Structures are given as C-alpha cells and as structure tokens.
A and B are shown apart, each in its own frame.
Chain A
Amino acid sequence: MFAYVVRRIIATIPVMAVVALFVFSLLFIAPGDPAAVIAGDQATPEQIERIRQSLGLDRPFLVQFSEWVWRLLHFDLGRSIFTNLPVTTMIAQRIEPTLSLTLITLVLSVIVAVPIGVLAAWKAGSFVDRAIMGFAVFGFSVPVFVIGYLLAYFFALELEWLPVQGYTPFAHGFVPWLENLILPSIALGCVYIALIARITRATMLEVLQQDYIRTARAKGLAQTPILFIHALKNASVPIVTVIGIGIALLIGGAVVTESVFAIPGLGRLTVDAILRRDYPVIQGIVLLFSFVYVLVNLGVDLIYTLIDPRIRY
C-alpha cells in the first residue's frame, strides 16, 4: 500500500514535466512572432523588442527553459506584462471566488448526480429513466454560458430570488456568499451532473445484474440498502474516476461562468489577460489548473485503494 502510494506520486512527476515543457514551448511553436502578437497592432519595434526580452525570447530555448523551471520550483511564475505584478500575487488575489465556485459545484453535482443515476438504473427503461437520460443529453449539449444566462434571466431578473451577478467574499457572511454562488454553480454543474449521472447509471446497471444483488433481494433486504450499500459501493470505482476526470470540465467551465456572472476569480483574470495579451498570466493560470487537475486525479487513484480493497498494486 505504502509502496503503491509512493510509486503513484512519483508517476505524476513526468506528467507535470510534460505539462510544464508544453506550456513553455507554446511561445516557441506558436505560428508567427508571439512578441509581435502580444505587443498588439500599434506597437513600435522597440516595444516588440522589450516584450521579446521580458519573455526571454531572445535567448536559446534550453537556457530559458532551465531558468524558467528553476523559478517555477521556487513558486515564481514571472511577472505580468501589463501590471508588472508577480503572477503568483495576481493569482492569490483571485483564487477565493474560483475555489468557492468549483467546490460548491463539485459538492452540488455529486449530491444530485449520483442519486439520479442510481434512480435511472433502478427504474431502467421507465419514464423516469428516459427523463433523466434526456436531461443528460441536454446537459451535454447546452453550453454553460447559455444555461447561465437562462438561469440569471428567470431566477434573478424575472423572479428576483437571487442576485443577478457579482460575488461576496466568504468573510462577509455565509448567506450572501452562498446566494451569489447558487446560480453559477447550477449553470456550471449541468454538464458535470450529466456526465456523472450517465456513468453512475451505466455502472449500476452492470452491478445490479450480479449474483450478490439477487442474494440480497432473496434474503428480503429492502430496496434502499440494496441500491445504496450493496450496489453503489461496488459501482463506486468508475464513478469516482469520472468525478476526477470531470474536474477538467469544471475548470474550463469556470472561466466562462465567471464571465457570465461577473465573478472576480481566476476565470475573469484569464479573460482580462487574453484581452491584454498578458501571456505570463495565462501561462501561470494554465499551469496552476493543470497541476490541480493532476493532483485531483492522483487523489482519485489513492481513493481507489480505500473504496475497493480488491485493488492492490
């Protein structure tokens, strides 16, 4: 068990190295002259040259890359071209709203998706099942910003139940904080719920065919413990896997959701950075999110050994 944990942690190092190498090389493999693109259309040659130097594009690739990795290992992501602030500072200022949004969405989605997936599998072929799976197709098809605008229009503008846009820090009270995040979380969660519900249903259908489920029924166990204890426990590995993989959807969707609901988080920072062509900031955010994603999936792999004792490496 301990050896497995250590091996699994070591296995993330090459993955992170590839991520870092790729994110760094983008500057070099991008078609055209990135310095000119970042400087904008009205830039003078001197400005382009200054950006080229500040990005280090005038020096050999390997020299730059090793320097960059060295700074990265010291949690130095460079400075923003636009504000000249350290990228880590800018990220630290914006991380709370994004963290709140993604965590609430994660919790909400799992609480909703797993039971409806179980329900769909239990009532397979029925109207309930069709309705849930139909919803899943819609969840996959309607983009997050469309759902966001629809929710904001009905629940905030028309019904005035919840605030339309904005964000209240957690320090200003739990209720205002939550009020501002309910609609964005639902919008962001739709595709995630659809994904988890589909996998839950598919895995549960398979598990419900097993002999031990028939045995449990035969000995007169009630439906709920059969579904949620006997079956769900054995179906949990693929479900936990897809919850981990789906984090990528949450991270990508958060960028857009924050734009729709005017939440001043990392997504807004990304969008502002794109409009200003502030590449060091974008680079830092992509690295941070990828790192989080790798860590989440590392956690998922470690959870396997807890939920399923048959998995031994």
Chain B
Amino acid sequence: MPAVATPALPDLWPPVKIRRGFLGFLRRHPTVAIGSALLIVMIAIALFAPYLGTVDPTTLNTARRTRAPSADFWFGTDMLGRDIYSRVMYGARVSLTVGFSVAICASLIGLAIGLISGMLRFADGFIMRIMDGLMSIPPILLAIALMALTRGSIGNVILAITIAEIPRVSRLVRGVVLSLREQPYVDAAIAAGTRTPLIILRHILPNTLAPMTVQATYICASAMIIEAILSFIGAGVPPITPSWGNIMAEGRSLWQVKPFIVFFPAVFLSLTVLAVNLVGDGLRDALDPRMAKAL
C-alpha cells in the first residue's frame, strides 16, 4: 500500500514572485525578447556577412544566371549571375545602417527642434507652421523628390529619409515639453532660481527620453521600409550595392518565373522590420503603462 503523503496546505497568500532585472523584464515582455533576439541575429548577419559562407556579392557570372536555389547557391542566383544568398546577407548592412542612422539623426534633430519650439514661445508658431507644411508631404514622396535631385548613395538615402521623419519627432517632443512646463517641479525649479539650460537638462530632457526612444524604434522600422521602397523603384542606393530593395528591384521583371529572387530579400526585410516593431511595442508597454493597457 503506497504511503499517502499529507498534502501541503496552500499558502493563504501565495508568494508573488516579481522578477527583477533584465531577465525579469524580458519575461514580462515576451515580445521584446522575441524582437530583440531576431534583431540581434540580423545585426550579427550584418557584422559577420563576410564569414557566413558568402562570396563577393557583386561578382558577375553570366554563365550561371537565374539558377534556382541549390546546395551551391542557397538562395539561387540573379539575372547577372550574382549569388543571392551573399547579396541578402550583405543587404542586412544597408538596411540596418539606414534604419539606425535615420532613427538616431531624426531623433536628435527632432529633439532639438522640439525643445526649441516648446521652450521659446516666440519661435513656436513659426517652427510649427513649417513642420505642419513638411508633414503634409507624404514621407515617401518627400524622400523620392529629394532622391530625384541627388545621386543615389547610402548617405543621401539616409539624409532624405531623415528630413522626411523630422517633423513627426519634433511635434512629439514639443507636445511633451509643453506639458512638462506646467509640472509643479518645473515651477519649483524656476522659483528656486535654476537657470533655464539647467532646467532643460535636468527636468525636461530626461522626461522626453522615454517617448523619444519608442518613437525612434518606429522611425527605424519606417526608415528600413522607405529605403527598400526607394531602392525598389530605382531611387535609392546604387543598383550595384546589395540592398534588399535592390535585389527585389532586379527580380521584379522575372518574379512570375523566378519568384525566389524576390522571395528571400522580402522575407529578411519583413523579419527585420517585424523585430524592430516588436521591440518598439514592448518598449512602449514598459515605458508607458497607460498606453500598454490601451494598445
């Protein structure tokens, strides 16, 4: 006869285990964990592209054009016989460079404009009318118009998308600054005789960082999509550069018979943008609990 163990009495108050630290944060926000993992993989691909069994992504070989994916050419070859696997791996560099650069540049410039607009009342009306005007031009079209006037290069693509994204950041920062100005602790700082630059640095700036970070991730995602669109329609980085948009542009005329040329860059682009969006959503939930409930 098996011994009957006395069942343990349940605790009246089961211990609430709050996981702290970085791992706890990831556990409470699984989307951030998935997004970051995916993003880290993409960054690793970009950094170590030359060591991932790739060949020179620009080498032409007309003898092996539009080969289907095989053991030799994992993702097949394109119309000029270039290895698509190598081009896709190197393409991660272009997308991530553009995404991160635009996110950083647009955030910093937008932050500066937003702070000026929010703190200096006389400049506010003028700056915001300009931003309203810029915001009325759909970002992709603004970037297209800028690219039509410059030579295709990664630098110019970054510049064009940054200009298109600045108005949204500055509007956001201005809104936050305007509401922060009314806070009692800012009044207290003014009453205590703190100088304006110090108030901005100590009391205003730190509070804009949370919404800015969330916005920056969305800008990063949007910039990667716009870069791909620009390259896809022939207004982006030079065609020889292995960018996901460029590979898809090259596969465009053949997509009905050789869909794999378009397929692989499309998957990598979508996964990378998804990763950045997941991180952004997770950051938003973590940094702004009120929004977390709503969205």
Q: A residues engaging B (CB < 8 A)?
A: 14-19, 21-23, 26-27, 30-32, 34, 37-38, 137-138, 140-146, 149, 153, 157, 164, 198, 201-202, 205-206, 248-249, 251-253, 255-256, 259-260, 270-271, 273-275, 277, 279, 282-283, 285-286, 289-290, 293-294, 297
Contacts and interface: CB of A to CB of B under 8 A. Distances in A.
B258 to A, nearest CB: 12
| Contact-residue size bin, chain B (C-beta under 8 Å from the other chain) | 35 or more
Nearest to A150: B266
Interface in B206-242: 221, 225, 228-229, 232-235
Contacts of B151: 32, 37
Interface stretch (B7-15, B61-69, B125-133): B125-133
Contacts of A22: 133-134, 137
B255 interface: yes
B144 A145 contact: no
A67 B135 CA distance: 25
B145 A248 contact: no
Contacts of A145: 228-229, 232, 248, 266
B183 to A, nearest CB: 24
B138 A248 contact: yes
B256 A23 contact: no
Given A31-B150, A143-B273, A255 B140 contact: yes
Contacts of A279: 148-149
B294 interface: yes
B280 to A, nearest CB: 9
Contacts of B139: 248, 252
B41 interface: no
A304 B234 CA distance: 40
B88 interface: no
B141 A286 contact: yes
A144 B256 CA distance: 18
A164 to B, nearest CB: 7
B142 interface: yes
A298 B198 CA distance: 40
B216 to A, nearest CB: 16
Closest A-B pairs by Cβ, 3 of them? A18-B133, A252-B140, A30-B149
A251 B138 CA distance: 7
Nearest to B269: A143
A164 B221 contact: no
Nearest to A141: B274
A18 B150 contact: no
Contacts of B111: none
B156 A31 contact: yes
A190 to B, nearest CB: 12
Among B225, B235, B259, the most chain A Cβ lie within 10 Å of the Cβ of B225
Nearest to A30: B149
5 contacts: A38-B149, A146-B270, A255-B140, A273-B148, A282-B145
B269 A146 contact: yes
B255 A140 contact: no
B166 to A, nearest CB: 12
A14 B129 contact: yes
B273 A141 contact: yes
B150 A30 contact: yes
A18 B134 CA distance: 7
A252 B149 contact: no
A111 B234 CA distance: 34
B233 A256 contact: yes
A153 B259 contact: yes
A34 B277 contact: no
Q: Which interface residue of B140, B142, B156, B273 has the most chain A CB atoms within 10 A?
A: B140
Nearest to B249: A259
A294 B136 contact: yes
A14 B255 CA distance: 45
Interface in B236-295: 248, 252, 255-256, 259, 262-263, 266, 269-270, 273-274, 277-278, 281, 293-295
B141 to A, nearest CB: 5
Nearest to B142: A286
Contacts of B234: 271, 274-275
Contacts of A202: 294-295
Contacts of B255: 149, 153
A122 B213 CA distance: 31
A17 B229 contact: no
Contact of B141 (A141, A143, A157, A252): A252
A37 B148 CA distance: 8
B273 A137 contact: no
B229 A286 contact: no
B178 interface: no
A309 to B, nearest CB: 25
Contact of A205 (B136, B141, B294): B294
A27 B137 contact: no
B229 A157 contact: no
Contacts of B133: 14-19, 21-22
Nearest to B130: A18
Nearest to A270: B144
B113 interface: no
